[in-house]
Amino acid sequence: MKGFWMFAVGALGKLLILIGVFIVAIGVLLLIGEKIAWIGKLPGDIVIKKEKFTFYFPITTSIILSILVTLLFTFFRK
Domain ranges in the chain are: 1-36, 37-78
Is-above-0.75 flag for pTM?
A: no
HEC secondary structure over the chain: CHHHHHHHHHHHHHHHHHHHHHHHHHHHHHHHHCCCCCCCCCCCCEEEECCCCEEEECHHHHHHHHHHHHHHHHHCCC
Q: How confident is the model at residue 69 (pLDDT cuts 50, 70, 90)?
A: confident
Strand partners, 57: 46
Mean pLDDT of 9-25: 86
Q: Which amino acid is at 51?
A: E
pLDDT band at 7 (very low <50, low <70, confident <90, very high): low
pLDDT of 75 reads 83
